Amino acid sequence: MDLTPQNCPVCDAATPVQEWAQANWDLAGLGDLAFSSRKLPEWMHFHLVRCSMCDVVFANPVPSTDWLLAQYRQAAFAAGDESIMAARSYAKVVAALVPDMKSRDGALDIGAGDGAFLQELLDLGFTNVAGLEPSRAPIDQASASIRPLLNNRMFTGEEATPASLSLVTCFQTLEHVNRPLELCRKASNLLRPGGVLLVAVHNYRAWPARLMGRRSPIYDIQHLQLFSPLSLGRLLENTGLTRVTIRPLCNRYPLSYWLRLLPLGITAKRRVLSLVTHMGLDKCNISLCPGNLVAYGFKSS
């Protein structure tokens, strides 16, 4: 793996930075779920610094896009019902935006997983819906009606005609990509005037992440940057979007999902999960706002 120094990925400039966390990773210690969503955390991460201008925490140096793509291509998939729960949370945000949108024709979801959110978009009346997902495993688990809408690739910005889409979404994916500002600008380029770019990220300034420190699951080998409200707003403003709005996102997940995020060792966590499963509580759904942010902005008319 080649690691290359980079400028701030939100400011796109050589801004002053402060040390945030020393590198803590060992490729040999990563399992086949290391680059999959909703796994048990290994608490491994690259060397992290914080931009003094925009507040984003980012990996420096970073691995290449080709190396990342190779990891995601072979990643196992372990999400199941949780992707449906997450998709419902995002769909509520979109439903509230629909009255402000001029059209519901043309929607692209970047990092679509098993496509659960595409079904929500169809249910909300969107047409010409598509998703991009670099891992093969979640696509193989997609429902038969959704699978043809999923493309097994990373986003390049050439997936649609410029100014042709009403909505581009990118949930829990901006942390994973090299050059997130470039991704947002290419996504914005595909939006027609009045179209919406909607993203969701982890908030490293939220209380759970502050409480857990480096034992928070957001400190992960997959996360090349971590956002706060300030840095996320700066990202969408630097993209050139207007009416940028940022707010916390609440998620409804089974108890077993929340327990997996606890800062316990893997053995202790397996014991807790096994106990909760034995008691029949693992599938109980609980709604929490544990520190995710949702942000959107409109393409100027």
Residues that bind Zn ion in the complex, under the rule CB under 5 A? 8, 10-11, 15, 51, 53-54
Min dist CB 265 to Zn ion, Å, is: 35
Min dist CB 51 to Zn ion, Å, is: 3
Instruction: Indicate the residue among 8 and 94 with the shorter CB distance to Zn ion.
Output: 8
Instruction: Indicate the residue among 16 and 162 with the shorter CB distance to Zn ion.
Output: 16
Instruction: Indicate the residue among 15 and 24 with the shorter CB distance to Zn ion.
Output: 15
Instruction: Indicate the residue among 8 and 167 with the shorter CB distance to Zn ion.
Output: 8
Min dist CB 47 to Zn ion, Å, is: 16
Min dist CB 226 to Zn ion, Å, is: 12
Min dist CB 281 to Zn ion, Å, is: 43
- The CA–CA distances, whole Å, from 13 to 17, 122, 161, 181, 186 equal 11, 39, 29, 11, 18
Instruction: Indicate the residue among 222 and 225 with the shorter CB distance to Zn ion.
Output: 225
